Structure 1
Amino acid sequence: MRRTRSLEKKFLLYLTGLITFIMIFVTVIYVYLEREQARELIGDQALATALAVAEIPDVKRAIESKQDVEEMRVLIERIRESAGAEYIVIGDEDGIRIAHPDETELGLPMVGGDNEGALVYGESYISLAEGSLGTAVRGKTPVLDDSGAIIGVVSVGFMIDYIDSVFEQGVIVFVLWLAFIFLLGLLASKKLASSIRKDTFGLEPYQIARLYKEREAIFESVKEGLLATDQSGVITLINHTAKEMLLIKDDVIGKPIDQIIPHSEIGYVLKQQEVAGSSETTFKNKRLIIHYHVIEENGVYGGKVASFQYRSNMNELINALSEIQQYSRDLRAQTHEHTNKLYAISGWLQLGLTQRAIEFIHQETGTQQQDNQWLFEQIKDPTIQAILIGKRSKASEKKIEFLLNPESSAEWIWPQSASAPLVTIIGNVIDNAFDAVSTVEKPSVIVFMTDLADELVIEIADNGAGIAHSIVNQLFVQGVSTKEDAGRGYGLSLVQAALEELHGSLEIGDNTPQGTIVSLYIPKERGS
């Protein structure tokens, strides 16, 4: 994956950009609102001053009589200085200035074009206009005589430059606080980035993403079921195999284990902190072998992981290993037998009995060629061929006559998935037949098989002592055997389990004149 910026740099970059954007946005809003608020407050002050001036009797008298104007101007100047206004202008009913800070402006019309509301309509209001002294926020109100007639106008103004200077002082303080907050945000961002990096063990986001994808791929490729819970018994991980084995269809991540598989040993163990190790249990009539592993975080219990598989899968591995070991013993037996025959041939040659040695070689070669020819021509499946060849060697070592019925025929090639069950089924039944004829004077085991119909039929007949009818139904129970040896009685139980996997069946009957016939029926559709 492409390498990008480190988590710490990326976090600082993004958070610095976010803080900067927020600061600029807040500053713009503050400047706009504060400027408008400052103008509004000063406008209210100007209007209040104008209303107060308009109610002074000396002002009204000076406007009406045009006398004592100088005294009024002195009074207005004191009021202006006290209010902090830039100017207070008083005009008559025609808008001609009677009082003005600049004496050169006296007697001239008031400028700005905003007197109509006061002189015509008698309104009091705030306006923003440009007068003789510059742009100002003005408070305007009419001057009324005792009868309520409009006789003049009062205009109190605060210059925009003055308002902006007052506003700028507040903005400077605001910006200084913003800068302080910005520095605190940067320090906190760096501290948080370092903490996150520590919590992620120094891994960058792309590395964490890769580990997550690798973990998912590994979990789904594992043939065993995997299920993990946290310290509270909540499911944190489950792979597809575990869902199939536990018959779970929905997404269960984040849900308590005892709600997903209630009243089960698995759920109980995963919820208990002190329980660990391996065990064998039954779930939905399936035998499972489970291994529990405790998760610890700095010595503190952090949850548990369960890995499990079907008991039958373990049996298959055991059976496969057992068969391999059996083939190895059979090959050693065959080697031993051939060594003995070579010694015999060597002795005949040393004694000068050359013709006897040649006849023996022809006899052994012909018998083996005939057996191999029947086997390879009549049986096409390599797994069944291997089983019969191995058992033939074992029979030769035990001095048992082991024959394949000449009328046997099996054309069906079984898939790889059926190899282990077939080895278990055929191998164990033939071994049982060998054991059954071990005490007979002329032991014989005959195998017949055909798959002309929809199933493979195998009959294995021996001339042993036979099986008592009273124990036939008990032979498939693990540990039950017709022998008295300890540790026996597992063969037919394994055969029964393998037959169930292939949806096959088994029958046990009497052979004539003595012995037992075991008939196996395995549907070919299951194998496909």
Structure 2
Amino acid sequence: MFPRRPRTGQGRRLSTRILASQVAILAVTSVIGFVLFAWVQRGQLDNEYEQRAMSIAQVAAADPQIVQGMVAPGDRALVQPAAERIAEAAVASYVVVVDLNGVRYSHPHPDLIGQRISEPLVVLDGQPHGGIDQGVTGRSANGKAPLRDPSGKVIGEVSVGITESKVAGQLWHELPTFALYAGIALCLGCAASYALARRLKRSTFGLELEEIAGLLTDREAMLHGIREGVIAFDPAGRITVVNDEARRLLPFDAALGLRPEDVLPEGRLRDALDGTLTGHDLTVLTDRYCLVVNRMPVGLHGRELGAVVTVRDRTEMVGLLRELDSVRGLTDALRAQQHEFANRMHILAGLLDLGEHDAAFEYAVESAGVEPALTESVRQRIGNPLMVGLIVAKSTVAAERGVRITLTEESRLGEQPAHLHGLLTIVGNLLDNAVDAAVSGTTTGAAQAEVRLSLLETGTAVTVQVADSGPGVPDDAMESIFQDGWSTRPDRGTARRGLGLALVHRLVRHRGGTITVSSGAGAVFTVTLPLSDTAPADGDRPGQAAPFELATSGGDRW
């Protein structure tokens, strides 16, 4: 559950605020829409009554009594009764008949009959006309039609008006229906707003606005402030969050919205991120770092929200642990040599006490020449002192475990060989693996567990070959032996297994070389590092980051 924050501000719930805001918006828009609709409807009613007035005017202009009254001067008295009859039948406010001179022959106010109208005639073109009239009877919807004699000649004009009160009355009669529809729409909108507010409330897991804003602030501060890579995935497996540390440790450029297979090549790292590999504290090697990856599914209230992957940089720590384990191995060897030296001193003291001076002298000369002979034998073939020291140290440690390391006669390495730093890591890890394999069981018929090392530098490449008398690589492990974390033996001391061979593989690949391993009893690892211009001797390949090199100790094999 998310932690609750004290509510600030108005203190109203998120759903209440959303509902109130939406209801207010709906109410305002409904009122505005109602007013606009009434205004449009008013315009339509005006136009409708104008057409109605023109129709009445055309009917009046065709009335025989009005035509006779306008044609025969003696029958002019017939016009007013006919106009009143038509106005009453059509429920019009007035029917006014005028001649071409604008003189009225009918009007709802009898005292205006015989007087001229103020505006000019508009029907001289022979067409009916409509509009809004601001006459003596008030504002009216007006329609005018030409009055013709029996021959079709325009002899006057008939003007019919319908007062504004009738138009407004019609509008007020229709508005309640419109208001009912607006009210129904408002109620439906409020119900939808309420449902939306409840859904948003569930989507935010009951958090209020201030709590959501606070969580966002905390999340940004936490994600970008911690020294641990964090990657979040949605239920579909797409990357949604990558903090700064994750971008530093992983080759992510624009990863948001993509899946691991879209941004990473096939390998252990991608399998650890997408959940193909399961388990805790998965060790993954990249070209620059040794990482510990953990993936944890995330859910809330029974809903699957995706997963969160944490990535920790353990490069320095693993290097130190392996170096510490190496130092412990050397310490054990020195301690054993101390006991051996004490035994030799006891033998010398016993021989001298017995008076066997010649025997004591021969034993002392023989004992003193063992270690120098080993070092001198290596120096005759290996010119670089760092490599000599590594081989001698590994030989001493291996001897204490009952394993003999021999350097082949054809081995040759100069004082400054190409890929020196990589060679030291490669040779050290391969020797450790070979010693472990030889200790686990000798199956090649040798009297003693043995490891053979060959170092050969030519004009085109440096070749390293390490063979042991152990049981060999299982057939089913040939494809996975160089993967991160692969090992058939448990961790020894502080050293984590499953890193040495993977590191060797990356170093060789980074330098453009090859590495192979034989099948069957007695494994033989062969590494070839080219000396061509395309393979850097000791440094970074252009455009690539140099892989890290851990201290060489502890084997990775069975």
Would you say same fold, with TM above 0.5?
Answer: yes
Which residue number in structure 1 is paired with residue 283 of structure 2? 280
Q: How does 1:309-388 map to 2 (within 5 A)?
A: 309-315=312-318, 318=321
Check the 8 A contact 2:69/2:77 in 1, yes or no: no
Is the alpha carbon distance of 1:104 and 1:317 closer, same or farther for their aligned partners in structure 2, counting shifts above 3 Å?
farther
Which residue number in structure 2 is paired with residue 203 of structure 1? 207
Is the alpha carbon distance of 1:55 and 1:479 closer, same or farther for their aligned partners in structure 2, counting shifts above 3 Å?
same
Three-state SS of the structure 1 residue aligned to 2:340 is coil
Deviation at 1:152, TM superposition (A): 1.3
Check the 8 A contact 1:8/1:197 in 2, yes or no: yes
Which residue number in structure 1 is paired with residue 65 of structure 2? 58
Which residue number in structure 2 is paired with residue 135 of structure 1? 139
Which residue number in structure 2 is paired with residue 20 of structure 1? 27
Is the alpha carbon distance of 1:71 and 1:489 closer, same or farther for their aligned partners in structure 2, counting shifts above 3 Å?
closer
Which of residues 1, 4, 7 is equivalent to 2:9? 4
Which residue number in structure 1 is paired with residue 264 of structure 2? 261
Three-state SS of the structure 1 residue aligned to 2:283 is strand
Check the 8 A contact 1:233/1:270 in 2, yes or no: no
Q: Residues of 2 paired with 1:223 and 1:424: CA distance? A: 27
Q: Residues of 1 paired with 2:326 and 2:274: CA distance? A: 40
Q: How does 1:64-103 map to 2 (within 5 A)?
A: 64-103=71-110
Is the alpha carbon distance of 1:435 and 1:141 closer, same or farther for their aligned partners in structure 2, counting shifts above 3 Å?
farther
Which residue number in structure 2 is paired with residue 241 of structure 1? 245
Q: Residues of 1 paired with 2:285 and 2:184: CA distance? A: 66
Three-state SS of the structure 1 residue aligned to 2:122 is helix
Is the alpha carbon distance of 1:492 and 1:46 closer, same or farther for their aligned partners in structure 2, counting shifts above 3 Å?
closer
Check the 8 A contact 1:87/1:158 in 2, yes or no: yes
Is the alpha carbon distance of 1:13 and 1:309 closer, same or farther for their aligned partners in structure 2, counting shifts above 3 Å?
same
Amino acid at match of 1:201: F
Is the alpha carbon distance of 1:433 and 1:168 closer, same or farther for their aligned partners in structure 2, counting shifts above 3 Å?
same
Q: Residues of 2 paired with 1:184 and 1:491: CA distance? A: 70
Check the 8 A contact 1:225/1:242 in 2, yes or no: yes
Three-state SS of the structure 2 residue aligned to 1:440 is helix
Amino acid at match of 1:289: V
Q: Residues of 2 paired with 1:267 and 1:492: CA distance? A: 24
Q: Residues of 2 paired with 1:482 and 1:173: CA distance? A: 94
Deviation at 1:163, TM superposition (A): 0.9
Deviation at 1:38, TM superposition (A): 0.9
Deviation at 1:259, TM superposition (A): 0.6
Check the 8 A contact 1:481/1:489 in 2, yes or no: no
Is the alpha carbon distance of 1:144 and 1:312 closer, same or farther for their aligned partners in structure 2, counting shifts above 3 Å?
same
Q: Residues of 1 paired with 2:302 and 2:9: CA distance? A: 35
- Write the deviation string for residues 226-254 of structure 1: whole angstroms up to 9, x where unpaired: 2222232211222222222221122x222
Is the alpha carbon distance of 1:240 and 1:435 closer, same or farther for their aligned partners in structure 2, counting shifts above 3 Å?
farther
Deviation at 1:158, TM superposition (A): 0.5
2:162 is equivalent to residue 158 of structure 1: yes
Q: Percent identity?
A: 22
Check the 8 A contact 1:128/1:135 in 2, yes or no: yes
Three-state SS of the structure 2 residue aligned to 1:88 is strand
Deviation at 1:125, TM superposition (A): 1.5
Q: Name the structure where helix makes up a greater proportion of residues.
A: 1
Q: Residues of 1 paired with 2:148 and 2:250: CA distance? A: 96
Check the 8 A contact 1:475/1:493 in 2, yes or no: no
Deviation at 1:224, TM superposition (A): 3.1
Amino acid at match of 1:23: S
List structure 1 segments (4+ residues) > 6 angstroms apart after TM superposition. Answer: 423-428, 459-462, 464-467, 482-494
Is the alpha carbon distance of 1:489 and 1:481 closer, same or farther for their aligned partners in structure 2, counting shifts above 3 Å?
farther
Amino acid at match of 1:180: I
Which residue number in structure 2 is paired with residue 48 of structure 1? 55
Q: Residues of 1 paired with 2:304 and 2:105: CA distance? A: 92
Q: Residues of 2 paired with 1:277 and 1:489: CA distance? A: 20
Q: Residues of 2 paired with 1:15 and 1:164: CA distance? A: 33
Is the alpha carbon distance of 1:66 and 1:234 closer, same or farther for their aligned partners in structure 2, counting shifts above 3 Å?
same
Is the alpha carbon distance of 1:436 and 1:168 closer, same or farther for their aligned partners in structure 2, counting shifts above 3 Å?
farther
Which residue number in structure 2 is paired with residue 29 of structure 1? 36
Amino acid at match of 2:244: H
Is the alpha carbon distance of 1:437 and 1:482 closer, same or farther for their aligned partners in structure 2, counting shifts above 3 Å?
farther
My pick for the range that moved more, 57-66 or 477-486, is 477-486
- Write the deviation string for residues 289-345 of structure 1: whole angstroms up to 9, x where unpaired: 3222223455565433322334535525756xxxxxxxxxxxxxxxxxxxxxxxxxx
Check the 8 A contact 1:50/1:155 in 2, yes or no: yes
Q: Residues of 2 paired with 1:488 and 1:226: CA distance? A: 27
Q: Residues of 2 paired with 1:484 and 1:439: CA distance? A: 23
Q: Residues of 2 paired with 1:123 and 1:26: CA distance? A: 37
Is the alpha carbon distance of 1:488 and 1:232 closer, same or farther for their aligned partners in structure 2, counting shifts above 3 Å?
closer
Amino acid at match of 1:229: F
Which residue number in structure 2 is paired with residue 230 of structure 1? 234
Check the 8 A contact 2:295/2:310 in 1, yes or no: yes
Is the alpha carbon distance of 1:317 and 1:53 closer, same or farther for their aligned partners in structure 2, counting shifts above 3 Å?
farther
Q: Residues of 2 paired with 1:470 and 1:127: CA distance? A: 117
Check the 8 A contact 2:104/2:113 in 1, yes or no: yes
Q: Residues of 1 paired with 2:278 and 2:120: CA distance? A: 94
2:340 is equivalent to residue 439 of structure 1: yes
Which residue number in structure 2 is paired with residue 344 of structure 1? none
Q: Residues of 2 paired with 1:483 and 1:84: CA distance? A: 117
Deviation at 1:287, TM superposition (A): 4.4
Q: Residues of 1 paired with 2:407 and 2:85: CA distance? A: 133
Segments of structure 2 that go 5 or more residues without pairing to the other structure are 1-5, 346-367, 369-388, 409-423, 441-489, 505-547, 549-558
Three-state SS of the structure 2 residue aligned to 1:49 is helix
Q: How does 1:181-192 map to 2 (within 5 A)?
A: 181-192=185-196
- Write the deviation string for residues 243-275 of structure 1: whole angstroms up to 9, x where unpaired: 22221122x222122111142334345546x86
Check the 8 A contact 2:147/2:156 in 1, yes or no: yes
Q: Residues of 1 paired with 2:291 and 2:216: CA distance? A: 28
Check the 8 A contact 1:141/1:154 in 2, yes or no: yes
Deviation at 1:154, TM superposition (A): 0.3
Q: Residues of 1 paired with 2:325 and 2:73: CA distance? A: 132
The one of the two structures with greater contact order (alpha-carbon pairs below 8 A, sep at least 6) is 2
Tell me how large the CA RMSD over aligned residues is. Answer: 4.4
Which residue number in structure 2 is paired with residue 293 of structure 1? 296
Check the 8 A contact 2:61/2:158 in 1, yes or no: yes
Deviation at 1:169, TM superposition (A): 1.8
Is the alpha carbon distance of 1:12 and 1:170 closer, same or farther for their aligned partners in structure 2, counting shifts above 3 Å?
same
Is the alpha carbon distance of 1:70 and 1:36 closer, same or farther for their aligned partners in structure 2, counting shifts above 3 Å?
same
Which residue number in structure 1 is paired with residue 545 of structure 2? none
Deviation at 1:469, TM superposition (A): 4.9
Q: Residues of 2 paired with 1:213 and 1:244: CA distance? A: 22
Which residue number in structure 2 is paired with residue 454 of structure 1? none
Which residue number in structure 1 is paired with residue 407 of structure 2? 470
Amino acid at match of 2:122: G
